Amino acid sequence: MDVKLQPGERIDDLERNGYRIIQNKNGFCFGMDAVLLSGFVKASPSDRIIDLGTGTGIIPILLRAKTGSTDITGLEIQEQSAEMAERSVLLNDLEKEVHIVRGDLKEAGTLFAHKTFDVVCSNPPYMKQNGGLKNPEEAKAIARHEIKCSFEDVAEAAKILLKPGGTFFLVHRPERLSELMEILRKKKLEPKRMRFVHSFVEDKAVMVLIEAVSGGGTFLKVEKPLIIYKEKGIYTEEIREIYGF
């Protein structure tokens, strides 16, 4: 379906199933972390999935392509981002499979029935509210800093929405790993699988991907590192596969 672009907007090819997404060069554009999270998620076509803090809808659209699920929801608090996500859904003719809901994830328990999702995923803000320099652009600041929600808020929403045995997938910063683990266990979301992401094989980790299971037992599998570049400016084959190049 054709959609109307607003000033500053563009349409980017997602390299998956012919899907595209609307982005605004002056707003918050999706990054590699969202793409890597979509590649880390394990879900079946019958699973009901929700993405908390979906932004402009990148993760739901990619998960539609990668998992085949026909029941994917993106929850977003920012009106402009949610409206862009809705237009991207229409652009790809996915309105029957992908649903964008405007609302606060801290109110997830009133927006959705409890324990009705098989998979919850989130690319939450990495920085604490008072940590680091905030971007003067509100949309970017909200996406990067815990202004509208904390990680504990995200984990609480996942706890409320997940079925027993359901899975929670997230991407975050390694330097907050001990805090993330503490909060996940507090919410009865047991970390089961983890993978560190490195720019180059000799570099320190820049991201961590985590899978947690609602009510799961204590066993954690640490997978081999995911390396982004094999040399400067050249992606590894695994990254190219995740992107669909």
Tokens, residue 188? 């009865």
* Residue 233 domain-assigned (yes or no): yes
d(CA 110, CA 63) in angstroms, rounded, equals: 25
* Residue 1 domain-assigned (yes or no): no
pLDDT category at 127 given cuts 50, 70, 90 is confident
Q: Which amino acid is at 110?
A: T
| % of the chain residues with pLDDT over 90 | 82
Beta bridge partners of 214: 189
- CATH number of the domain to which 106 belongs: 3.40.50.150
Tokens, residue 167? 């899975």
CA dihedral 107, 148, 194, 38 (to 10 degrees): 80
Helix 58-67 and helix 32-40, axial crossing angle in degrees, nearest 10:
30
* Residue 2 domain-assigned (yes or no): no
Looking at per-residue confidence, does 1 or 177 come out higher? 177
The answer, as to whether pTM is greater than 0.85, is yes
Write phi, then psi, for 179 (nearest 5 degrees). Answer: -65, -45
* Residue 53 domain-assigned (yes or no): yes
Residue 174 belongs to domain spanning: 9-243
* CB 16 within 8 Å of CB 65: yes
* CB 192 within 8 Å of CB 179: no
* Residue 4 domain-assigned (yes or no): no
d(CA 37, CA 172) in angstroms, rounded, equals: 10
d(CA 191, CA 220) in angstroms, rounded, equals: 6
* Residue 208 domain-assigned (yes or no): yes
Q: Tell me: the pLDDT tens digits for 36-95?
A: 999 999 999 999 999 999 999 999 999 999 999 999 999 999 999 999 999 999 999 999
Total domains, the chain: 1
Q: Which of 65, 77, 57 is nearest to 3 (CA)?
A: 57
d(CA 184, CA 167) in angstroms, rounded, equals: 12
Helix residue spans in the chain (DSSP H)? 32-40, 58-67, 79-91, 108-111, 138-144, 151-161, 177-186, 237-243
